[in-house]
Chains A and B, each alone.
Chain A
Amino acid sequence: MSKVKCECGHLNPYGTYLCESCGKPLKEDDNSLANMRYEGVARRSQTYKKSIVDKIWNFFSSVKVGVWIIVLTLIASSIGTIFPQEMFIPPGQPASVYYYEEYGTMGQLFYQLGFHNLYSSWWYMLLVAGLGVSLIIASIDRFVPLYRALKTQRVTRHPGFMKRQRLFKKADTVTEPSEEIKKASEVLKERKYNVREENGNILAEKGRFSRWGPYVNHVGLIIFLIGAMLRLFPEMYLEDHIWVREGQEVEVRGTGGEYSVRNDDFLVEFYDPEDERFREGLERSGGDVVKTYQTTATLFKQSSETIGAGEKEEVQQHRIRVNDPMSFEGFSLYQVDYKLNELAAFTFALEEIDGDSEGLEDVRFEVNLYDPEPSYEFDNGYRVEIYDYFPNFTFNDDGEPSTLNRIPDNPRFIFEVFAPGEDDGELSFVGIQLNEAIEEDNQYRLRMVDFETNHVSALAVRRDRTLPILILGGIIFMVGLVQGSYWHHRRMWIQERDGELWIAGHANKNWNALKKDFDYLAEQTNIPAPNDQTDEQDESERTDEGVREADDNGSTKQ
């Protein structure tokens, strides 16, 4: 489609409504105010409407569609908070029954519609993706032509452009227009306006960069969304956790054995109920309030070639607390859970069932519950072997002794005791408050005489490679937001036409500030402040109300 040539000589893209250079209206219209949204430029979406690509482009570039997407996302998000998401329901509860039992029929419906996993549902993701696409297309559609127009704009504007500005005035009482314009130029420069002159006319401009604010913030938003999307790739995001007992060293999962961490000490600290500052507050909460959860941890590293064999190098020690993770090479270890006084070791003594146990005083041994020795031998010839060990004892489905896991919450042993010189041992079944002979005629008995406990700390392992992208996106977003919100683009056109002074002004927002600048100009020179043509329209619309006292508070009328 052909370009449109304006009488000022500038070639405009097809579809242009106000000449990019001089601002002359290129399309016939009534004499209403010019639509200055995008300087009257040709936007692709307003110009091409034929092919399927055009149609998709036009759909997504529409702010109406954009706002619909935002509003739908908003509504969907709020629905997800009616009942808790599946990730927040108590562990071990199947969602299929939980929602019905807790919240009745509404809960059931919530579950059946899939709202219990709403934020990871395909349609929610589709909404967010739509938001992203819309952002990109709408921004390109507007940014490119707007940039061109603001770059090509000239100083002297067409009368049709001037007249159609919201702030406009024709002043025929100014005696020496060209002198006044020169003075104005100085005054405006002092006010940090960027002033351009052409044939004695001026264009004073300020804060143009704020026009890019929305596009900058949209770019930031897109980068952020891309970053968030990348988390779906397992390489980018690692989420795991480890339990570490005091004194124990454990491989940090996800590091391929390269790093391991030792729990030197775990501590839970409570607020002192006698503390004056918090006495009343603590009385109200009626119990102990935790002050600190802390794992003192040492991090070790070994080079990846020598895993398992090579020397370990101590990298760092850190007191990991809630709100103070240990970080290394993109990994972070967080304090997330703990268990106090987990059983760690039992000490057993051997006794004769019917006798005085003479000569058995030295037959005492400690069994490490995490990693028991298979056999314990004594100088006087006695020997105890572990026939079987169930750290967390239970009967399995077949009614046989078994263990739930390797955590010694309910440890039980089957010991085999060999007296000196005997080849046949006696089996007995031993646990907390339990000591059963497995054969009838046992002569010996193992008695638990002591135990040890340990604190155990749970550390979350995280590595999020998307963070730098998200941070970048966030920063760009904020910069754009501030740029577009706290600065405003203002322009003043002052020209001499046939001895008259024509004054027009435009602000992309915050007209109030532009008007104040015009007022200031009127004080310093003989150039009168322009009228707000929308005010005049308003006036005629509102005459029936008759309650207007325009000179009051914060009026935009000057």
Chain B
Amino acid sequence: MAQLSSNLLLIAFFLYFLSTLMFAVSVTGRRFKDKKGIERNRLGTYGYISSVAAFVLAMGYFITRWIAGGHAPVSNMFEYTTFLGIMMGLGFVIIYPIYKSRVLGLFTMPVVMLIIAYASVFPTEIQPLIPALQSNWLKIHVITTALGQGILAVGFAAGLVYLVRVTDFKTKSKKVTSLELVFFGLLCFVGHILLNMGFSAVNYEAEFQYINEFGQEAPITYQLPALIGPNEGTLLSEDRLSPLVNAPDFIVPDDLNAVIWAFISGAVLYWVLRLIFRKPIGGALQPLVKSVNPQSADELSYRAIAIGFPIFTLGGLIFAMIWAQIAWTRFWGWDPKEVWALITFLFYAAYLHLRLSRGWQGEKSAWLCVIGFAIIMFNLIFVNLVIAGLHSYAGM
């Protein structure tokens, strides 16, 4: 069953890739308006069908894994992150029929793939549930939150479409730089995934002895070459890079190390792409979105946020509070994870008010969608891995 489950996920991943390709061809194909042009555009529909099929198979993964493990697969980093990707795919499946925007598909599908691929960097074994996680409310909370965040992430993709569409990449400006930073950030994820796949393919491991945050000696194994060593660490493995500096004890050292590698690899990838395209990444993407009406991209991103916000609030705050009341004896405890859910909530509330009453539409609004997504990812990655708290899946 577990094997079937991973196979289903793999096929789903492939279908997301296929969907990306079809949307890409469908969008670029439009430039050649020949007689076959109309036929080519049907590819957009195929792209959508492919994304629906991918979602169905991904749910197959979810259900079979649930059966195999006996609990909903949303209880560690791999499971949650994968599920977030699937929910973003679902968000797209819901929103596409309303606006029929193929460019949205072209921007959403790669992000979905990126999130799912990122998930597989974490340990994928099925783990038993510790008592604190044995609750139906936890499942409900996590599933709803992921759905909300997934739909908000579609808003991010639409915001990105808008920004790429309207920004003038011919001249240097702050806007161009900021947008390039966003692409750089996405490339860091790509780099991180590639590095992890590469080093785990050759079974790279570097073992250290170090002093953990409780002041005790403990072993730790790095999966990537250590630039940042653990607190007072000594390298035990032979022929491994010895760290440049050691991290203080309150930081999870191998995660910090991985983050630094992600930045380095992201920079390399970015530089390579710049060399290939000889222009900003956004500028290279711009021809793909030139057929988009900015106003509809703007409205689309707003719709996605308006649909996602109540779902996120229900899952990330209300169900979270119900679960916390049952599991931790109090509905709210200012745990970092909770605080960041609140911050996400406040952020999107501010977005809605700015948009509604202060006329923040178009460019400003699109930037807010980008920042909102950054907050969601920050909550997923940084808060889980670096600022350890009650909800943390750290070390899993």
Contact = CB atoms under 8 A, between A and B. Distances in A.
A278 B128 CA distance: 6
A141 B353 CA distance: 16
A211 B275 CA distance: 52
Given A103-B250, A277-B126, A322-B327, A81 B336 contact: yes
Interface string A40-62: 00000000000000000000000
A323 B340 contact: no
B295 A80 contact: no
A474 B292 contact: no
Nearest to B309: A485
Interface in A543-558: 547-550, 552-557
A509 B358 contact: no
Given A70-B353, A85-B334, A334 B329 contact: yes
Contact of B306 (A291, A509, A553): A509
A37 interface: yes
B310 A481 contact: yes
A193 interface: no
Interface string B283-324: 000000011110110011011001101100110001001000
A553 B131 contact: no
Given A485-B306, A553-B99, A553-B102, A462 B343 contact: no
Nearest to B308: A485
B160 interface: no
Contact of B131 (A77, A323, A510, A511): A323
Contacts of B336: 81, 84
Contacts of B300: 554
Contacts of A289: 127-128, 130
Interface stretch (A279-287, A440-448, A523-531): A279-287
B134 interface: yes
B324 to A, nearest CB: 11
B128 A552 contact: no
Contacts of B353: 63, 66-67, 70
Contact of B303 (A467, A481, A510, A534): A510
B334 A281 contact: no
Contacts of A511: 299
A84 B339 CA distance: 12
B162 to A, nearest CB: 12
Interface in A274-305: 275, 277-278, 280-285, 289-293
A63 B314 CA distance: 24
A70 B350 contact: yes
Contacts of A281: 123, 125-128
Nearest to B166: A545
Interface in A61-86: 63-64, 66-67, 70-71, 73-74, 77-78, 80-81, 84-85
A119 interface: yes
A63 B357 contact: yes
B100 interface: yes
Nearest to B337: A81
Contacts of A275: 128
Contact of B132 (A323, A509, A557): A323
A535 B347 CA distance: 29
A223 interface: no
Contacts of B347: 74
Contacts of A548: 293
B346 interface: yes
B331 interface: yes
Contacts of A470: 321, 331
A285 to B, nearest CB: 7
B119 to A, nearest CB: 16
B354 interface: yes
A80 B293 contact: no
A366 to B, nearest CB: 35
A324 B350 CA distance: 37
B128 A291 contact: yes
Nearest to A38: B357
A340 interface: no
A482 interface: yes
Contacts of A280: 125-126
Interface in B199-252: 248-250
The secondary structure that dominates the B interface is: helix
B38 interface: no
B314 A478 contact: yes
A534 B293 CA distance: 13
Interface string A458-478: 001010100100100010011
B358 A64 contact: yes
Interface string A105-119: 000000000000001
Nearest to B310: A481
Contact of A323 (B123, B134, B296, B396): B134
A470 to B, nearest CB: 7
Contacts of B295: 534-535, 538, 556
Given A282-B128, A321-B131, A323-B131, A552 B342 contact: no
B303 A554 contact: no
A460 B329 contact: yes
Contacts of B314: 478
Contacts of A85: 334
B392 to A, nearest CB: 12
Contacts of B37: none
Q: Of A284, A332, A553, which is in contact with the most chain B CB atoms at under 10 Å from its CB?
A: A553
A34 B358 CA distance: 16
A122 interface: no
B131 A332 contact: no
Given A323-B134, A555-B296, A481 B313 contact: yes
A553 B334 contact: no
A556 B339 CA distance: 38
Contacts of A73: 346
Nearest to A79: B339
B385 to A, nearest CB: 14
Contacts of B321: 470, 474
Nearest to A85: B334
B357 A550 contact: no
B307 A486 contact: yes
B350 A71 contact: yes
Nearest to B102: A553
Given A271-B128, A462-B329, A77 B343 contact: yes
B131 A67 contact: no
A102 interface: yes
Interface string B369-396: 0000000000000010001010000001
B310 A478 contact: yes
B120 to A, nearest CB: 15
Nearest to B70: A277
Given A485-B306, A485-B310, A332 B126 contact: no
B299 A512 contact: yes
A293 B131 contact: yes
A322 B346 contact: no
A336 interface: yes
B327 A67 contact: no
Contact of A474 (B68, B318, B333, B383): B318
B320 to A, nearest CB: 11
Contacts of A309: none
A127 to B, nearest CB: 11
B276 interface: no
B30 A486 contact: no
5 contacts: A88-B335, A102-B250, A323-B132, A485-B307, A556-B296
Sorted nearest first, the 6 A-B pairs with minimum C-beta distance are: A554-B99, A281-B127, A63-B357, A280-B125, A322-B131, A281-B125
Interface of A: 37, 63-64, 66-67, 70-71, 73-74, 77-78, 80-81, 84-85, 87-88, 102-103, 119, 271, 275, 277-278, 280-285, 289-293, 321-325, 332, 334, 336, 460, 462, 464, 467, 470, 474, 477-478, 481-482, 485-486, 509-512, 534-535, 538, 547-550, 552-557
Given A78-B340, A557-B293, 10 more contacts: A292-B131, A322-B132, A470-B321, A470-B331, A474-B318, A509-B306, A510-B303, A512-B299, A553-B100, A556-B296
